[in-house]
Amino acid sequence: MLPKHTIEPISRVLLFPRGDGNAFGQVAQACAWLLGRGLEVGVPRPLYEAHHAALPSNCMGIELDQLAAADLSLIVALGGDGTLLRAARWAADASVPVMGVNLGDLGFLTAFRRDELEEGLRQAAAGRLHWEPRLRMRVEVHRGDRVIATETACNDAYVKHGDIPRLLQLATSVGGESMATYRADGLIVCTPMGSTAYNLAAGGPIVDPGTEILTITPLCPHSLTHRPVVVSSTDPIAITYAGPSDISSAFLTVDGQLITELKLGDVVKIDCSPKPLRLVSPANNVFRVLVAKLGWSGPR
């Protein structure tokens, strides 16, 4: 069971809305609630510059790459799981807890529904929220003796073919030991938190968030014997783009957002990130969400 850490009564909050503009009403609502109680509130600098005339005059614009110096108590992600993951990119390295308010459909990661926004803020102001650590992955792309990309993933990292639908050859090792050379459309490596994302759609296992493991799931493997594999998070994973050598392409995608084009021979190295995400966890565990929203049969 994951340890729970109390969040002290908040003093300064960053509101991080979804990027399509459809959460601006919730931004205004949260701003009014927080400022009305004497708390400090900000939004990402680009949103502030675009809409500052419609925001309260004492709402701040905050640079996302300077969160560590912003002295934040909490980040409130207003959207779905994708919005929360985008906020997590900035929050985790700054060790700031993230609370999600679901404005979408499933919401595996969000703690509150759309109509519970003020209740979530009320709990935060009263010091009644808790965060739990969520495992993250450090992902590097090695090209020869150079590291050409370094990212951190809360959910998943996957290698997949590009516009030309060719089977990729992905030589995979775990803990320095060769495991398999997959011939497949791609390969997903996910955290327990990410097990309900692309991994679930690809037939991978659903993993309890409290476990310290990573899951490797092939996408449409050519061999029927290739199945998802669960490994310890302490064992580094290496995926070498080994073919085909004719016209083809492969891409690495991290948390569905950050994309790096791979060249033949590139190695994707994945291990555990030293800093977890501090997530205000949902009241319902992942299995109750599956019962409620995906039609799994619950207790009778």
CATH of the domain at 10: 3.40.50.10330
Structural domain total, the chain:
2
Per-residue confidence (pLDDT) for residue 296, from 0 to 100: 72
| Two tokens, residue 291 | 């019962």
Output the CA–CA distances (angstroms, integers) from residue 79 to 16, 107, 217, 237, in the order listed. 9, 9, 27, 32
Q: Are strands 112-113 and 74-79 parallel, antiparallel or unpaired?
A: unpaired
pLDDT of residue 195: 94
pLDDT(241) > 70 = yes
Written as six digits, the tokens of 161 are 């073919």
Range of the domain at 150: 137-272
264 lies in the same domain as 244 = yes
Calculate what percentage of the chain has a pLDDT beyond 70. 93
Q: What separation in angstroms does the CA of 40 have from each of 25, 65, 68, 125, 205?
A: 18, 19, 16, 11, 42
- Which tens digit of pLDDT belongs to each residue from 37-52? 999 999 999 999 998 8
Whether residue 300 lies inside any domain: the answer is no
Confidence bin at 281 (pLDDT 50/70/90): confident
DSSP 28-43: HHHHHHHHTTT-EEEE
For 33, counting Cβ atoms within 10 Å of its Cβ (0-12 exposed, 13-18 middle, 19+ buried), the class is middle
> Which of 58, 62, 34 is closest to 46 using CA atoms?
62
Handedness of CA 153, 156, 162, 166 (dihedral sign): positive
Binning pLDDT at 50, 70 and 90, where does residue 2 land? Answer: confident
pLDDT in tens, 130-166: 999 999 999 999 999 999 999 999 999 999 998 888 8
Domain assignment present for 103: yes
Q: Are 183 and 252 part of one and the same domain?
A: yes
Q: What is the DSSP letter of 68?
A: G
State percent of the chain over pLDDT 90.
77
Does 184 reside within a domain?
yes
pTM of the model: 0.90
Q: Which of the two residues, 82 and 107, has the higher pLDDT score?
A: 82
Can you tell me whether residue 291 is helix, strand or coil?
helix
Residue 158 lies in a domain: yes
pLDDT tens by residue, 215-228: 999 999 998 889 99
Q: How far is CA 251 from the centre of its chain?
A: 19
- Of the candidates 20, 65, 71, 81, the residue annotated as catalytic is 81
Q: Are residues 235 and 262 in the same domain?
A: yes
Whether 271 sits among the annotated catalytic residues: the reply is no
Mean pLDDT computed over every residue of the chain: 92
